[in-house]
A = this chain, B = another copy of it.
């Protein structure tokens, strides 16, 4: 008989049956007792699929609450679905765990997932748990539905259209800077607001699907606003002219980093925002603004002919450093 010591290690079978099976409520998940799962046929709809992994030391810290680690792993994927106009339905979980993971950590991790299943109306469809040599590594694959052929793509922006972004940009980067002990004089509320943006991003999951038929192109803001706009520009074969002063930044971030050109560029290249940047015809701007009372939309620029992204500040093109390519 094994005990229920919260510090005791668990077997792979215990972990699946006790910790994760309760999250697998869809009929097609078979309670995690089969070799595969079913994404049921939905006439007239396409299944949209995306996958993103998060790793300890990069996307979260060992001392982060296990529940928010689970939620972040999920939300970085829900952000991709939202940017594609897909309504999230299911997810798969690949978990590589170091030796000695406790029931306590796993239970808290699953409780975070359970909270977000409620928040976003999704459920666990399947997955795989293995023992890794390194730290905790989590890959989630998320599935959503869009009307057949209607997925919002990075391609599709046309000259003359506006460039828009949801929410605020740079908060997560500010939170990470605080965790890395950058000096600041923020009050507790401002500090908490930034660190929470890093730990627990809030992708506009219900807003994304409403953009179908209105946005001409759309991208998830995760690598950094400028880098992601560059992806959209390249796929669409256009140039995006962005007004640096229009990039929405929170009061907390402005109190932390200030309002200089360097501060704006830092926010626009920090990444981990999990907002949506999209383009649309100015004629539908008003309709888009009214789509969702909880989602603030800001126009930040214009689509023109050409290529790349020009960040304009005080009448001049600002010098944006190349995105920080990571070497392997």
CB within 8 Å of B: which residues of A?
9-13, 15, 28, 30, 33-53, 55-58, 80-81, 83-84, 86, 92, 94, 96-101, 125-135, 137, 139, 141, 143, 148, 151, 153-155, 219-220, 231, 234-235, 325-328
Let me know if A132 and B51 touch, CB within 8 A. no
> Chain B: which residue is nearest A12 at the CB level?
B326
Q: Are B151 and A38 in touch, CB under 8 angstroms?
A: yes
Closest B residue to A76 by CB, please name it.
B128
| Smallest beta-carbon distance A191→chain B, Å | 28
Which among B46, B131, B154, B231 is the interface contact of A326 at CB below 8 angstroms? B131
Instruction: Give the distance to chain B from A155, nearest Cβ to Cβ, in Å.
Output: 8
Q: When the two chains form their complex, are residues B137 and A132 in contact, meaning their CB atoms are under 8 A apart?
A: yes
Q: From A45, A137, A155, A231, name the one whose CB has the most chain B CB atoms within 10 angstroms.
A: A137
Distance between Cα atoms of A98 and B326 in the complex (Å): 12
Enumerate chain B residues within 8 angstroms of A100, measured Cβ to Cβ: 328
Given A96-B55, A326-B131, A49–B34 Cβ distance below 8 Å? no
A45 to B57, CA, bound (A): 42
For the complex of A and B, list the 10 residue pairs with the smallest distance between their C-beta atoms, beginning with the closest: A134-B134, A36-B50, A39-B47, A11-B325, A133-B134, A94-B139, A35-B80, A36-B84, A35-B220, A101-B328
Q: Are A43 and B46 in contact (CB under 8 A)?
A: no
Copies of this protein, total: 2
Q: Once the chains bind, are A58 and B131 in contact (CB under 8 Å)? A: yes
> Which of A9, A11, A49 has most B Cβ within 10 Å?
A49
Residues of chain B within 8 A (CB-CB) of A37 are 48-50
B residues near A58, Cβ cutoff 8 Å: 130-131
Establish whether residues B48 and A38, one from each chain, have CB atoms under 8 Å apart when the complex forms. yes
Determine which residue in A12, A51, A80, A141 has the highest number of CB atoms from chain B within 10 A of its CB, and name it. A51
Cβ contacts under 8 Å, A51 to chain B? 92, 94, 126-128, 141
> Could you list 15 further interchain pairs (A-B, Cβ under 8 angstroms) beyond the known A35-B219, A51-B92?
A11-B327, A35-B154, A36-B86, A39-B47, A41-B44, A49-B92, A49-B125, A51-B126, A52-B128, A55-B132, A57-B133, A92-B141, A97-B328, A99-B327, A139-B139
Q: How far is the CB of A107 from chain B (nearest CB, A)?
A: 13
A326 to B130 CA separation, bound complex (whole angstroms): 9
Docked-complex contact B128 and A53, CB < 8 angstroms: yes
Q: Which residues of B contact A13 (CB under 8 A)?
A: 325
The winner among A127, A235, A328 for most chain B CB atoms within 10 A is: A328
